[in-house]
């Protein structure tokens, strides 16, 4: 009986191995996590009114997605190595459909928390499995590092972070906040259809073996990793009033995780490999540092412009527009050339220059200076987006690329959550010029660290194909 059109076999032997039919569902799936991260912000007020919850409670809808995503990204990468990347990618989309329906029909606030947690888990399956699928296809076709494809992933993430807020505003304003959850259903179903028709099936060799499931997925390692990441993120999110026992718990769990993973037959995090692969560890650290600078720019300077410089929200959006625009253009230029080391050096220099500009800005500075500051942040983000991702691609072992890609996203979440505490420490009760200048000094420090991590690392290739 012939296969249906929806489930027909798809082979790697195509004239364009990275054509639109293969890449489109992977890009769409990978974009769903960042777009959900920013889109919910437009519905928090309405949710609070409907369920009689204050801002602190509704903000948990943001943090629960970050937390679940930080834990789930490498876990989904591990599942991909056991069950097959395409299977896990499809499974994540099905979880997202369920999450969207739960959120759209939620009778109580607790259901929204459950929905956001499932959204974080479901969307976390996309990026690590997509990277594994790209790596598998590149290795089978002998095409080398697919720089343009990696650039597309970087651009997609940057576009969706920017698009999330206006899209959320349109949906919430036209259909109510429940549309912010329901929109995931058609998007996930579209990605599912495109995946089933355009992405090759996993080979039988990628099916799980006969070992117990807990051993195959390293269940103790997953639980220890979840505890380690959760305790760290909770500590970093409250640095204005540090809860030191959380840091102690993080230290204890991190030690236990390292000890267990060294002995595990199929470790979630191969600490022996990471110990030998110091360039990959430095890439993770660079990603954390750059994410810290980027999110501080997005949220810290935006808050300052509204409270201290008295710009409206729409004006702030226009001032920050060069950040996203320059990031997207540079990511395309850098990925077309396949360069890594040079853009990473320029990332550090742009951050240093941005920090210097921040030190000179006051609430009376001309708007052109603020636009220039936004442009500099965009240059740093654009230079680093593809370059760090390409460095990860060439530094991670092929068999570990799914877990390595998940960890890459986890380190980015650490930087994002740390930025919230950094902004709170700098501004205190209200954003002012002094706090902005503090952020300027911190940005200089971030730029210096990023620059040193690149200049002193002789293992970073000049190009992706070196």
The answer, yes or no, to whether residue 58 has pLDDT greater than 60, is: yes
Which DSSP symbol is given to 339?
B
- 454-to-354, 406, 444 alpha-carbon distances in Å: 18, 22, 15
Same domain, 193 and 310: no
Q: Is residue 3 in a domain? A: no
Q: Is the pTM of this model over 0.85?
A: no
The confidence band for 7, taking pLDDT boundaries of 50, 70 and 90, is very low
Structure tokens at 390: 């390409």
Q: Is residue 211 in a domain? A: no
Query: Mean pLDDT over residues 279-306, rounded?
Result: 85
CATH code of 60's domain: 1.20.1250.20
User: In whole angstroms, what separates CA 453 from the centre of its chain?
Assistant: 21
For 266-280, write each residue's pLDDT tens digit: 898 888 888 888 889
Q: Is residue 212 in a domain? A: no
Same domain, 333 and 261: no
Which DSSP symbol is given to 298?
I
Radius of gyration of the chain (CA): 22
For 394-435, write each residue's pLDDT tens digit: 888 888 888 988 999 899 888 888 887 888 888 877 788 998
Q: How far apart are CA 113 and CA 110, in angstroms?
A: 5
Same domain, 384 and 281: yes
What's residue 312's pLDDT? 77
What's residue 349's pLDDT? 94
Q: Are 284 and 408 in contact (CB under 8 A)?
A: yes
- Higher model confidence: residue 221 or residue 424? 221
What's residue 269's pLDDT? 87
What's residue 168's pLDDT? 78
Same domain, 182 and 48: yes
Instruction: Write out the DSSP string of 246-311.
Output: HHHHHHHHHHHHHHHHHH-SS-SS-HHHHHH-HHHHHHHHHHHHHHHHHHIIIIIIHHHHHHTS--
Q: Which residues pair with 339 in a beta bridge?
A: 463
Q: Is residue 392 in a domain? A: yes
Q: Is residue 2 in a domain? A: no
Query: Mean pLDDT over residues 158-186, rounded?
Result: 82
Mean pLDDT over all residues of the chain? Answer: 85
Same domain, 244 and 339: no
Q: Where are the alpha helices (DSSP H) in 40-125?
A: 44-51, 55-58, 60-83, 85-104, 109-124
Same domain, 259 and 287: no
Q: How far apart are CA 458 and CA 455, in angstroms?
A: 7
Same domain, 321 and 364: yes
CB atoms within 10 A of CB 292: 23
Q: Is residue 100 in a domain? A: yes
**H-helix or E-strand containing 258?**
helix 244-263
Unique residue bearing structure tokens 């009033």: 241
Same domain, 231 and 162: no
- 189-to-96, 98, 194 alpha-carbon distances in Å: 9, 11, 9
Q: Is residue 207 in a domain? A: no
Residue 224 structural domain: 218-267
Same domain, 280 and 133: no
Q: Whole-angstrom distance between the N-terminal and C-terminal Cα of the chain?
A: 47
Within 8 A by CB and 6+ apart from 101, the residues are 182, 185
The confidence band for 2, taking pLDDT boundaries of 50, 70 and 90, is very low
Nearest to 364 by CA among 314, 425, 414, 433: 433
- Higher model confidence: residue 326 or residue 94? 94
What's residue 377's pLDDT? 83
Please provide residue 339's backbone torsions phi and psi, each rounded to the nearest 5 degrees.
-90, 145
The confidence band for 190, taking pLDDT boundaries of 50, 70 and 90, is very high
């Amino acid at each position: 009986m012939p296969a249906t059109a929806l489930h027909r076999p798809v082979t790697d032997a195509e004239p364009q191995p990275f054509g639109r039919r293969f890449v489109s569902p992977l890009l769409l799936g990978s974009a769903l996590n960042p777009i959900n991260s920013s889109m919910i912000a437009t519905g928090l007020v309405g949710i609070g009114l409907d369920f009689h919850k204050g801002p602190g409670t509704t903000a948990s809808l943001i943090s629960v997605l970050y937390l679940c995503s930080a834990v789930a990204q490498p876990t989904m990468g591990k599942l991909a190595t056991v069950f097959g990347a395409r299977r896990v990618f499809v499974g994540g989309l099905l979880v997202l459909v369920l999450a969207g329906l739960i959120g759209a029909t939620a009778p109580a606030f607790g259901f929204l928390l459950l929905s956001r947690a499932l959204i974080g888990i479901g969307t976390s399956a996309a990026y690590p499995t997509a990277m594994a699928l790209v790596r598998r296809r590149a290795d089978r076709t002998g095409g080398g590092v697919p720089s343009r494809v990696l650039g597309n992933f970087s651009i997609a993430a940057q576009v969706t972070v920017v698009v999330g807020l206006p899209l959320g505003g349109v949906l919430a304003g036209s259909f109510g906040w429940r549309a912010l959850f329901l929109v995931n259903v058609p998007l996930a179903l579209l990605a599912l259809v495109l995946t089933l028709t355009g992405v090759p099936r996993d080979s039988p060799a990628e099916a799980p073996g006969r070992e117990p499931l807990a051993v195959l997925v390293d269940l103790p390692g997953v639980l220890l990793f979840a505890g380690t990441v959760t305790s760290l993120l909770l500590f970093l999110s409250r640095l204005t009033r540090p809860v030191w026992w959380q840091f102690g718990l993080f230290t204890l769990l991190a030690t236990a995780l390292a000890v267990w993973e060294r002995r595990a037959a199929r470790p979630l995090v191969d600490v022996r490999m990471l110990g030998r692969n110091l360039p990959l560890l430095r890439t993770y650290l660079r990603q954390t540092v750059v994410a810290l600078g980027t999110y501080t720019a997005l949220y810290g300077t935006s808050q300052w412009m509204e409270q201290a410089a008295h710009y409206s929200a729409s004006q702030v959006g226009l001032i920050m527009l060069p950040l996203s625009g320059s990031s997207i253009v540079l990511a395309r230029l850098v990925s077309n050339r396949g360069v890594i080391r040079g853009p990473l050096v320029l990332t550090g220099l742009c951050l240093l220059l941005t920090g210097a500009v921040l030190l000179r800005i006051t609430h009376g500075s001309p708007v052109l200076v603020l636009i220039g500051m936004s442009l500099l942040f965009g240059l740093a983000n654009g230079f680093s987006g593809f370059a760090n991702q390409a460095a990860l691609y060439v530094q991670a072992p092929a068999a570990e690329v799914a877990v390595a890609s998940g960890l890459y996203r986890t380190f980015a979440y650490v930087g994002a959550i740390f930025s919230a505490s950094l902004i709170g420490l700098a501004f205190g009760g209200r954003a002012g010029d002094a706090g902005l200048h503090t952020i300027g000094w911190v940005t200089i420090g971030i730029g210096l660290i990023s620059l040193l991590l690149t200049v002193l690392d002789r293992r970073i290739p000049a190009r992706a194909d070196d």
